[in-house]
Every structure is written in structure tokens, then in C-alpha cells.
A and B are shown apart, each in its own frame.
Chain A
Amino acid sequence: MREAVVWVFGAALAFFVTAGAFLLLANLATGPSEESLPPDPQPSQSGPALELSLDEDQLASMEALPDQRLDLGVENAGDEDLSDVNLTLEVSSENTALSDARYYRETVQALEAGGSVTVQFYLDLSEGEGPNPVAVPEPPRKILEVRATTPTGVSTVKTAILPL
């Protein structure tokens, strides 16, 4: 009985030693590929950055009518002051066969580093030309695409999809 226990213990010990050796070799062999992988994207710690925010509760309250108010939050999340931040808002239909896009533009003259501003838009979300009931069997949603750009090339885009 004692011999059997010793034998089992010895076999287990030999196995774990061998497994450990394989583990070590495997980690050594994959070393270079780890280095060649691109690093995790890190959040920008410096330089210019723009962020846009859309209030989803306000979006949910919108109707397919003219004069729908939208408060667009614009934040300079970088560490450099920005000037002439151009905001372009395009309202279009999910149905790309319809050519009823409407455009709205505003400019924020100056936005200091870490600062934010709310810009109001009054949108016409009323229906344009009617969708083709044969080509598209379901009512198209509205698409709001907001783009912020600066003359120095800083830009950001957000898109809202509204089931109006």
C-alpha cells in the first residue's frame, strides 16, 4: 500500500514538473508575438479633442414636425483652446432613395480647454416626399448626423437614429 502511494505521488510530481517545463517553453515561444501586437489604445492625455453629446430623453420626445428643439453639447476635452468650431447637423431619412436632407450649421467662436457649451438647433423633422411603399415595406426612421470640425483639423461625428 505504501509503495503504491509513493508511486502515485512520484508519477504526479513527474507530471507537474513536465507540465511546468512545457508552460515555461510555451511562454518563451510566444514572447515575440506579444511584443508585435499593437498596444491597447490609450485615451488621449494631451492635444485637442472634441466631444459631442446628445440628450437621449430630448431625442425621444421629438416629433415628426417642424421646430423641434435639439440641445447639442460641445466639449473641448483636450488641453488646447479651440476656435471656430463648425457644427453641421444633417437631418435625413433612413430611406436613401428620398432626397429630403436638411442641413443646419452653427459656429462656436471659442472653446477653451476643458470648457463646454450647449448649442441649440431648431430642426424640421416633418416628412418630406413620401416613401415608396413597394420598395420599402416599413416606415423609415430619421437620421441626425452631427459633425464638429475646426480649421486646425480637429473633428468628431455622432449619429442619432430616431424612430419617428
Chain B
Amino acid sequence: MLAAVVLVCAGCMPADQEASIPPLSAGGRADPGLGPGTHPLSSGPGYKGSPSWSPRGNRIAFTVDGYVVDKPLNAGEVRRWTTRDFVAEDVEWTSENGLAIFGLVSDPAAGAGKAKVPRSVYRARPQEGSPEVEEVATKVLAMTPGPEGMILALETGASESELALMRDNGEVDRFGSKPVDGRVTSISLSPDRRKVVLAARVPADRPFFELRVLDLREDTHRRVARLGADLEIIGAPQWTKQGICFVAGKEEAQGGGSATPLYDLYRVPPGSDSPEHMPGVGEEFVASSIRGSPDGERLAVIGRLNPNSPINLYILEAGVLEALTSNEDMEIKTGPDDLAWSPDGASVAIVARGALSEEPRVRPGPADALLEDFYNLYEVPLELTQGAAR
């Protein structure tokens, strides 16, 4: 009986039709190695990262080899915002026509020591055809879009930070709240756009991380949780309906002696001050980076089900983890800013490339049309979510 049903179902799909659909070209492949439905948003060489969707969702900005570009979502024209000597680390839209860029101007004399150089925030706007980039704040530790402009964490002392608002006109106003103890490492906005959650490294005999919440209306901040001294928070904590979520961990040596970071996903449930392992992801889950959806219902997570499984993009919603990609042999970038939700919450942008090879590769076509050989941006729609991951 079952065989007969299969026979009937198979008969409804003519074999000729299945076979006669030609594969898409490399420039518009339906499946670039991340699973069906994944759509490339960029192509060609360049170390790309920090995708950010425009408020209307029709353009995407990102960094390439340190400079900033943006482009229409489904077209190839790239608009360049900064010069080659710029080192942009994060980019966010301030309006449909403006960007806030977190980074610094490159100083070749500083060399590799630039990692210690304070970052600035620059305001970029298109001005008579060529973008105008203006430094508006220095000694910036982190930034996130807010309801009235960009919210900045500023370094004001060796163990003290302050929060400020960068308005669209470039003015920077410090919040009246008292300074934050320690060095703010990351901040993000709550879905109701009334609060900001921040992670801060608080110096003491044994430095530890704190989670704090700034109420933008009351202009006050309070500590939500304190982590153990052996845990560090990676990237920005994210506010969801399940609580404040964050990735934290410490470097652990694995077999062979190489140090591999093993980070876990945690949350502080609403009303609690105690971090706990995120329910629903499994004990062996290794998290890399997270982003809360615009409505706070879902959490996009780049990670592995266990240390030996392929890295994928997952969606965590109401305690259920679902794989959004089915990674075959791609290397998904795991930086804290290397994933972004579209404004309507229908897609997530990630950055990925094929596995690196020590052998030369020869490809048909021009370099700027190649996808898997270089880090490129991919749009992963939620509607194609395939079954639970576990």
C-alpha cells in the first residue's frame, strides 16, 4: 500500500521537468552551499563583514577590507563611503541616507598595535554625489542604533564609561545618568526601544563582566547580573522575550593542544539576576554570535550543535532551536557583528565563504562574480526554515 502511494506521488512529478531545470549561474545560485533559499547579496573579492540593513530594508551596508560600502539588495551597484585608509569595524544606518561608522583612520606607522588605538564614530552622508564623512565622537567603546539617534558608550576614564546620544545632525549629548563602572564592551537596544542593555568589564582584583540596563526615559541604569570571573561576554547582549541573552565563555584547550574558544549561550530571565544556560539549545551547543529579531520574539544564533558539527545559522524561538541553513562546506563568519536581521524580521544576513584551500583554484568568469572563494553576504529567509535542529 505504501509503495503504491509513493508510486502515485512520484508520478505527479514528471521526471523530465525535474531534470530540465538548468542550474543558475554562479552569480545567482539558488544554493550556494548554505541550503535552499539562501541568496547572495554580494560577490567578488574582499574581506567583508558587519552587514546592516537600511531602515526600509532595500539596501545593505557592510565593510570590505576596512572601508564601507552599501548597495541595493538585489543589484550590483556598490556605493563607497570611506577611503582606503579607513578601518571600519561596524556600520549602522542612522537614516535612509546616513550611516554611523565605528572605526578609525588607518595609521601605517602604528602597525599591528592599532588594536589598542581608541575608536571613533563617524557620521557619513551622501553630499553632492560623494559621501561626506565626519568624525563626531572619539574614544568610543561601542554603539547601537537608538530611537533618537545612535547610542554611544564613551571611554571617560581607566575604569569608567559614559553613555551618550549622537543625533542625526551630529550633535553628541551625554546622558545625565551617573557613569558606568568599568569599560563598556558592547551595547544593544531593547525591542521596545526604551532600554539599552550593555556589557561592561569591571576592573577589580579579578576583573569580571556585568550586564547593565539603561532606561532611556528615566535616564538611569542598573546592574542586571554579574558573571563569574572566568567568563567573558562576546559581542552585544540581546534583549528578547526570553530574557537578556548573551554569549560567554573562556578559552579552553582541546585535544592536540590548540586553544579553541568554546562559548555558551546564556540568558538572564525576566525578573531574575542570575544568568542560566539558554534552554532549548542543548548542552553541547557552541554559540558564536547572536542577534535578537526586531520584535524580540526570536534570536538568530550562529553556532554549532556540538564542537564537531558544522557551523550554521539557527533561530531560537520559544525554546525551540531550528536550523536556518544546512551548511555543507562553507565557513560562516562568526564575528559579533557578522549577522543582521532585516527590518521586517523576515531574513537574516550572514557572511560566509567556501572552505579555504592551500591549492590554487581556477574558476570560469571574472573575479568580481565569484561567490564561494571569498567572504560574501548571504540573505537567509526565515520562511524556508526546515524542521527542528534536534
Contact = CB atoms under 8 A, between A and B. Distances in A.
B84 interface: yes
A8 to B, nearest CB: 11
Contacts of B357: 163
A95 B46 contact: yes
Contact of A134 (B1, B67, B115, B358): B115
Given A95-B65, A133-B111, A157-B365, A19 B47 contact: no
A19 B44 CA distance: 51
Interface of B: 1, 4, 7-8, 11-12, 14, 16-17, 20-22, 44-47, 63-67, 84, 87-88, 106, 108, 111-112, 114-115, 356-367, 370, 373-374
A132 B362 contact: no
B65 A97 contact: yes
A27 to B, nearest CB: 6
Interface in A35-66: 37-41, 54, 56, 59-60, 62
Given A60-B360, A132-B87, A30 B17 contact: yes
A98 B106 CA distance: 13
A37 B362 contact: no
Nearest to B111: A133
Contacts of A133: 111-112, 114
Interface in A45-101: 54, 56, 59-60, 62, 92-99
A95 B375 CA distance: 11
Given A27-B11, A40-B20, A158-B364, A15 B106 contact: no
A160 B11 contact: no
Interface stretch (A103-111, A114-122, A135-143): A135-143
8 contacts: A22-B11, A34-B16, A56-B362, A62-B360, A93-B45, A97-B64, A98-B65, A143-B45
A159 interface: yes
Chain A: interface residue count, which band?
35 or more
B21 A94 contact: no
Interface of A: 15-16, 19, 22-23, 26-27, 30, 33-34, 37-41, 54, 56, 59-60, 62, 92-99, 130, 132-138, 140, 143, 145, 147, 157-163
Contact of B45 (A15, A30, A59, A94): A94
Given A94-B46, A94-B47, A159-B364, 14 more contacts: A15-B1, A27-B11, A33-B17, A37-B17, A56-B359, A59-B362, A134-B106, A134-B115, A135-B87, A138-B47, A158-B362, A160-B361, A161-B373, A163-B359
A99 to B, nearest CB: 7
